[in-house]
Chain A
């Protein structure tokens, strides 16, 4: 049986009555109220003018839907401490699928207590409901005082509630009420076919889902990770050594389960839950599916070490969760089968460690590409993406097909050079680059590289004549003249594009 719990809450400071307002149909109306305002008898949807008249000391703020949304999303991520399956419910609620999670907190009542405590520790007022179906929990949270619905009691609990509690479209709920079907109980014993014909299939679907007659899983904000291990602490922890130890312990737990399924981790997320309701999360990626606990722990440690401000525990962490976000099939580790395999493995580990320390984008491999445009001839790809294995054969072919030498370094963008050539389409005689004058002693070229015709015409790329030149000191450069003299441009320009050894 599925169990779902619902929490609705908004952050409200204590003190004088406070409300947020938003314009509804031309008038400012109260959107959310603090407990003090509720106690004074104010209610949501009330016109601000009326509320002000009753309570002149009412504090008012404009509603900020974006901030509310961000807050709710943050809360949703934090709520993953109870279960990985957390969904946003509209603008003001969260839906948690706690199937199989309640026992960790001493049962459903214990779970509710824990949620309530932690929410109120953050200054949040919430109405909590827990039921066997998402629909029943929703109805209870929004239309009663919340609480726990015992398994099988959904029918009895829902019957006296208004039909609105089925989360129907307002027009449908209104239509039902108008014909005298005011409570859910009124619907329960009606013939189904006429109901569906008159008010749409939605009514019956919602009813069946709320009663648990059909399965209606929630749609979590973040997908549930395939593997996940966590540890909670009675006393908050914060020192690096303890975190490292727990992280290794979590890796060991995951490693066993990965091995049992013949899989390895491609992406690991470590989430550290602070006692103040915030969290610290790091992601580590592996070029090859990882299954060795120590290797996974090393990767996580490298990632934590790369945090610019170190591990900021503030008042301590009371929970750590390690999740495999991406897993991939992996065979048994081939120990000592061939030195090459071991080396490839070591190399992948090195790429992962460096990626974790310096950023995934910083560790790269290059792949040959079938183009004569120099900037595009080598594709540089992050090594951790796993899609960039060494392509020796590709490079061998590339080298064979190369008509002229290529420089060992290439400038990210060609640098302008002042050059003097003897004839308009000849090699330069001398040139000035970065304020230094170079006399050309030898030159090879031109190697004419035309722009590909399919590049966008507005890019206006011109033909380049490349020269490999050697100056009077023996230094070699890769220069090009852009634009064919007289045809493409009256004044071709020169650029420095790379260096030769």
Chain B
């Protein structure tokens, strides 16, 4: 295990390399402030939040978690100001339905901010995502890729990452059909599961606000993390919820133990 000093030194070197990469590409030196979740300890753990002008992969813990995956990305986009491009492929329309304006409004994301794209296939979706990522007027691109997710490989993700860096647009690539992804150029990879509503008291026994078990499987620096989060539409922020029982962090490799939290909660 690396000690603290070495880890800090590596972080500095990584930052230097990133800066050199950016200047080689002719990009502005300092990126925008990271996109925080609004929950202080979560943001602290992430060094401020998610990098903007970069790609973030979001996978689903199970087939039924597609709604949670989309909700997680919508919440993050709602925390930004500006237009959002939401791209859905043809398969996702059948599998999980199309994004519904009133539902987005209910989450606190003004549908007037959204431009919707209905992509036929992965090729169209990646093309639209790249166009969107380069458009400085946008703050975020959310792409829901279900059909032909294989097309989103290291090369494709690198293209998107470069486009996102050029445009300063934060790109969320949602892969609700995938449990494990292939290596990509995304700066973080999340795996999202729906989380049960907190115990009665706060929400009087009914269905609570959107809640997520978010596993950060991969990031540039640091070990994997796990949070249980709820989305507060009024505060436009995520709220950290206590994990029920001793829920272990997802393993770095994303194998074996990664499916455990789902079943554990189901049995609780």
User: Which residues of A does B touch, CB under 8 Å?
Assistant: 342-347, 349-351, 353-354, 357-358, 361-366, 368, 374, 377-378, 380, 383, 389-392, 394-396, 398-399, 402, 405-412, 436, 441-444, 468-476, 498-501
**A350 and B207: CB pair below 8 A?**
no
- Docked complex Cα distance between A484 and B110 (Å): 34
**A501 and B97: CB pair below 8 A?**
no
- Determine whether B64 belongs to the interface, using a CB cutoff of 8 Å to chain A: yes
CB distance from A399 to the nearest CB of B (A): 4
From A351, A364, A471, A501, B210 is in contact (CB under 8 Å) with A501
Determine, out of B13-21, B99-107, B151-159, the stretch whose residues face the partner at the interface: B99-107
CB distance from A363 to the nearest CB of B (A): 6
Main secondary structure of the interface of A (DSSP, over half): mixed
Return the chain A residue nearest B128 by Cβ: A354
- Docked complex Cα distance between A475 and B96 (Å): 13
From B67, B135, B205, B211, A409 is in contact (CB under 8 Å) with B67
Once A357-B128, A409-B103, A501-B67 are accepted as A-B contacts, the answer to whether A347 and B112 lie under 8 Å apart by CB is no
**A475 and B194: CB pair below 8 A?**
yes
**B137 and A474: CB pair below 8 A?**
no
- Docked complex Cα distance between A442 and B99 (Å): 24
Q: How many residues of B contact A (CB 8 A)?
A: 65
- The residues of B that contact A408 with a CB separation of less than 8 Å are 67, 70-71, 74, 99-100, 103-104, 107
8 contacts between A and B (CB under 8 A): A344-B137, A350-B131, A350-B137, A353-B131, A354-B131, A363-B117, A365-B114, A395-B111
From B96, B213, B231, A499 is in contact (CB under 8 Å) with B96
- Docked complex Cα distance between A499 and B195 (Å): 14
**A380 and B115: CB pair below 8 A?**
no
**B117 and A442: CB pair below 8 A?**
no
- The residues of A that contact B150 with a CB separation of less than 8 Å are none
Considering the complex, which residues of chain B in the window 185-226 have a beta carbon less than 8 Å from any beta carbon of chain A?
A: 193-197, 205-208, 210-213
**B106 and A378: CB pair below 8 A?**
no
**B127 and A378: CB pair below 8 A?**
no
Return the chain B residue nearest A469 by Cβ: B207
Once A344-B137, A350-B131, A475-B64 are accepted as A-B contacts, the answer to whether A501 and B107 lie under 8 Å apart by CB is yes
- The residues of B that contact A402 with a CB separation of less than 8 Å are 102, 105-106
- The residues of A that contact B97 with a CB separation of less than 8 Å are 407, 409-412, 498-499
**A499 and B66: CB pair below 8 A?**
yes
**A347 and B71: CB pair below 8 A?**
no
**A406 and B194: CB pair below 8 A?**
no
**B138 and A366: CB pair below 8 A?**
no
- The residues of A that contact B36 with a CB separation of less than 8 Å are none
From B75, B135, B194, A474 is in contact (CB under 8 Å) with B194
- Determine whether B179 belongs to the interface, using a CB cutoff of 8 Å to chain A: no
**A363 and B115: CB pair below 8 A?**
yes
- The residues of A that contact B132 with a CB separation of less than 8 Å are 350, 354
**A409 and B99: CB pair below 8 A?**
yes
From A368, A390, A411, A474, B195 is in contact (CB under 8 Å) with A474
- Docked complex Cα distance between A409 and B206 (Å): 20
- The residues of A that contact B212 with a CB separation of less than 8 Å are 501
